[in-house]
Amino acid sequence: MRRLNRKKTLNLMKELDAFPKVPESYVETSASGGTVSLIAFTTMAFLTIMEFMVYRDTWMKYEYEVDKDFTSKLRINIDITVAMKCQYVGADVLDLAETMVASADGLAYEPVIFELSPQQREWQRMLQLIQSRLQEEHSLQDVIFKSAFRSASTALPPREDNSLQPPDACRIHGHLYVNKVAGNFHITVGKAIPHPRGHAHLAALVSHEAYNFSHRIDHLSFGELIPGIINPLDGTEKIASDHNQMFQYFITVVPTKLHTYEISAETHQFSVTERERVINHAAGSHGVSGIFMKYDISSLMVTVTEEHMPFWQFLVRLCGIIGGIFSTTGILHGIGRFIVEIICCRFRLGSYKSVSVPLPDGHLNNHLPLTTDNERTQV
């Protein structure tokens, strides 16, 4: 009884087989089919390898929302070298919301040599090359995001030569915290002096001939300091052509939350527009000589998340590739054989010619003979 039930179950399973097996005696192989199969298997292997590489890779997903954080402070990271002595220049931030000078106690003034050493100059050229490629290929920014904390530091390397040249420049570096509103960070002649109606700089004791606002921006960023991230102004160098020259940078800061498999941080991206002009009151070009960075905070916040292809999606895509190529090559091979058979059959029919054969009753037989011309001649 058990054997009977088992046999019925086995027969039922055979009837449900959606992949019937064809006996080998009914299978016909050909050279063209083998060639197509070899091409199909090679294509499958190549696309499978490419798909696996896509599966291993990750991409950055960008999401946008309104920034509702208005109470926190904005951190500004600064590393700028000005071609003037430290006692001649002063740096501060003017908060446009409170119309007062924000504290710049977090900045340090270090006397240095403005001319870079060969190693430092090579570092700057490499950084400028990366900046030019980033402007042309915006997708490279995703590579920088994914390699954050893993790549080498983007800071200017220390000077390797022991130069006896006296310092002729001032390196202003450090960080400071300001409100998340538009502001103006500037470096100009003289130290900043608090004033009830704004602020002022003590520039009367500095000779006009000492004005030289040639500068190099080794680093400028907003928010949390993340090693490996290259900002738009990193490596910028400007040489002043006149003593009374103003350099302006108009910056739009975008709050950014970065979530990768390596880090999770809150930072800020920014875009910048540059302008420079010579101050000449007689020609109508008014202003103050110096370096001015006017920044504004965007109301949108960007969330950048590193994503990876799920394994189930990889399997679905892989099955689609293998099944699609197998079916497509089979269809193309069938169509090709059909066309070849039609062409060969037409040529074969063209080799038979209609011949009139006299019959005993005097009529003509116009049917095609069953023998060829050679055989008919021999008869």
* pLDDT per position as a tens digit, 179-223: 888 888 988 887 777 666 667 777 767 777 778 899 999 999 998
In this predicted structure, the answer to whether residue 83 has a pLDDT above a threshold of 70 is yes
Pick from 45-54, 70-79, 194-203, 244-253: least confident: 194-203
Alpha-carbon torsion (330, 332, 337, 342), positive or negative: positive
What's the pLDDT band for 295 if we cut at 50, 70, 90? very high
Return the pLDDT at 351.
Answer: 53
Return the pLDDT at 292.
Answer: 93
Section 331-354 average pLDDT: 72
What's the pLDDT band for 250 if we cut at 50, 70, 90? very high
Pick from 23-37, 126-140, 147-161, 180-194: least confident: 147-161
CA 100 to chain centre: 40
SS3 192: strand
Do the strands 290-297 and 245-259 form a parallel or antiparallel pair, or are they unpaired?
parallel
Q: How many residues does the chain have?
A: 379
How much of the chain exceeds pLDDT 90, in percent? Answer: 12
Residue 142, amino acid = D
Alpha-carbon torsion (50, 51, 57, 60), positive or negative: positive
Which of 1-5, 31-35, 62-66: highest mean pLDDT? 62-66
Return the pLDDT at 347.
Answer: 63
SS3 316: helix
Instruction: Determine the Cα angle at 96 with ends 94 and 102, to 5°.
Output: 35
Return the pLDDT at 377.
Answer: 44
CB 270 within 8 A of CB 252: yes
The two structure tokens encoding residue 143: 């590579």
Section 59-72 average pLDDT: 84
Alpha carbons within 13 angstroms on the beta-carbon side of residue 170 total: 19
| Average pLDDT taken over every residue of the chain | 79
In this predicted structure, the answer to whether residue 61 has a pLDDT above a threshold of 60 is yes
- Pick the more confident residue, 177 or 31: 177
The pTM (predicted TM-score) of the whole model is 0.69
Instruction: Return the beta strands (E) in the chain as ranges.
Output: 58-66, 73-82, 89-95, 100-102, 107-112, 169-179, 183-189, 191-195, 198-202, 215-223, 236-238, 245-259, 264-278, 290-297, 300-308, 357-358, 364-365
